[in-house]
Structure 1
Amino acid sequence: MSGSTHHHWTRRSFLKASLASAFLLVGKPAWAQDLIVPPVPEGRLALYNTHTSERLDITYRDPSGQYDPDALNALNHLLRCHYTNRATEMDVRVIEFVNAVDKQLGGDNEIHVISGFRSPEYNRLLVRKRRGVARHSLHLAGKAIDFRIPGVSPNLIKKAALDLKYGGVGYYPRRGFVHLDSGTFRHW
């Protein structure tokens, strides 16, 4: 984190931003209409895909709440299944969740993505190889992202995500990453 002043989101300030942004969603495409988690002020992420070594530093939403379809497509591409090279339309709510956690941690962090979308073939392979991979994972629907942030403890990432009280938060300390999804609020 840089030495500049950063806004640290509290649950209250996050919810205020949510209410304000909910009004901005009128007239948006169908996929944006039912956003539950509202965008935080800056819709920008810096991502690194640990499997493909691709980087993306992108503003996917402007301050007025307008999503950039080209930027969302670029995110879909970066978050594709590395095993089959197939992409899906990622749920913008999980992207906003990752963004909110990043901002909670000061912002401007490079998010190292371990897993975004998983094809059914890749998910079946992981289920066979490892315990703990769900057969009906939200990764299959583009609603989950597993990641780490270099220099930031996964425990701190988990705490920041839990403070937001949104979506699923999985903590994998031995593997060194956190899982976020746009499902109901729960944690493990």
Structure 2
Amino acid sequence: MTDYSSSSMTRRAVLGAFAATAVMTAPTYSNAAGFLRGAGDIRRIRMTSPRTGESIDTIYWIEGEYIRDAVREVELFMRDWRTNDIHSIDLRTIDIMAAAHGLLDVDEPYMLLSGYRSPKTNAMLRSRSSGVAKNSRHLQGQAADLRLGSRSVGQMYNAAKACRGGGVGRYSGSNFVHMDCGPVRTWGS
């Protein structure tokens, strides 16, 4: 990792320039995997769970191949913590999360608030909040709700949006960003 604090260019300027470049390349790399192509021969995901107390730091892709055992670890980690149900996680979602994390240039792991949701959990959450979709991408293992202590919701939202890999929701009041591998769209405030 490069320390930009000693140079004349601020960290914010570097991130802004990189995000602008990323957005300009979006037509060529219209998904998160495009951002990861230049990232070397590995893809890594780091997360903690405040619900289970678990953490994961794994390389899930090396030299063009997903590592089956590492992907299974991610799926176990992203399980429905309320029911312990495990579901396959769409690899595109993991790639979006990793690409956005790379754009944010942080060492801090994501805090996973919600990954896969069982139908039972989703129904319970819908009964408590109008903001939970009936056919949520969480039900298909295609979404994650994430937080970083060192980055604002706006910064995370902009990084995920720059990936143009799926849906990005900004939940400033609850301090998290939703990332999914569905159609490219944005919402929230």
Normalised by the shorter chain, which TM-score bucket? 0.7 to 0.9
Q: Judge which range, 66-75 or 160-169, deviates more.
A: 160-169
Superposed, 1:7-156 pairs within 5 Å as 8=18, 10-11=21-22, 37-38=32-33, 40=36, 41=39, 42-62=42-62, 64-156=63-155
Instruction: Give the counterpart letter for 1:184 in structure 2.
Output: P
Cα distance change on mapping 1:4 and 1:70 into 2, 3 Å: farther
Tell me if the contact between 2:32 and 2:99 (Cα under 8 Å) persists in the aligned partners: no
CA RMSD in angstroms comes to: 2.4
- More helix by proportion, 1 or 2? 2
Deviation per CA, 1:24-60: give whole Å up to 9, x if none: xxxxxxxxxxxx5426124101110121110011000
Cα distance change on mapping 1:187 and 1:13 into 2, 3 Å: closer
- TM-score, normalized by length of structure 2? 0.82
Q: Judge which range, 3-12 or 41-50, deviates more.
A: 3-12
Deviation per CA, 1:100-150: give whole Å up to 9, x if none: 000000143310000000000000000001120001000000000000011
- The runs of at least 4 aligned residues of structure 1 exceeding 4 Å deviation read 4-9, 12-16
- TM-score, normalized by length of structure 1? 0.82
Structure-1 residue corresponding to 2:3: 3
Structure-2 residue corresponding to 1:179: 178
For the residues of structure 2 that align with 1:108 and 1:61, how far apart are their CA atoms? Answer: 18
Deviation per CA, 1:58-91: give whole Å up to 9, x if none: 00011x1111100000000000000110111100
For the residues of structure 2 that align with 1:13 and 1:49, how far apart are their CA atoms? Answer: 33
Q: 1:163: how far off? A: 1.8
Q: 1:13: how far off? A: 5.9
For the residues of structure 1 that align with 2:69 and 2:122, how far apart are their CA atoms? Answer: 27
- Partner SS state of residue 38, structure 1: helix
For the residues of structure 1 that align with 2:125 and 2:43, how far apart are their CA atoms? Answer: 32
Q: 1:4: how far off? A: 7.2
Structure-2 residue corresponding to 1:26: none
For the residues of structure 2 that align with 1:98 and 1:118, how far apart are their CA atoms? Answer: 17
Instruction: Give the counterpart letter for 1:114 in structure 2.
Output: L
Tell me if the contact between 1:168 and 1:185 (Cα under 8 Å) persists in the aligned partners: yes
Tell me if the contact between 1:110 and 1:150 (Cα under 8 Å) persists in the aligned partners: no
Q: 1:166: how far off? A: 2.2
Unmatched segments (≥5 aa) in structure 1: 20-35
Equivalent residues, number: 170
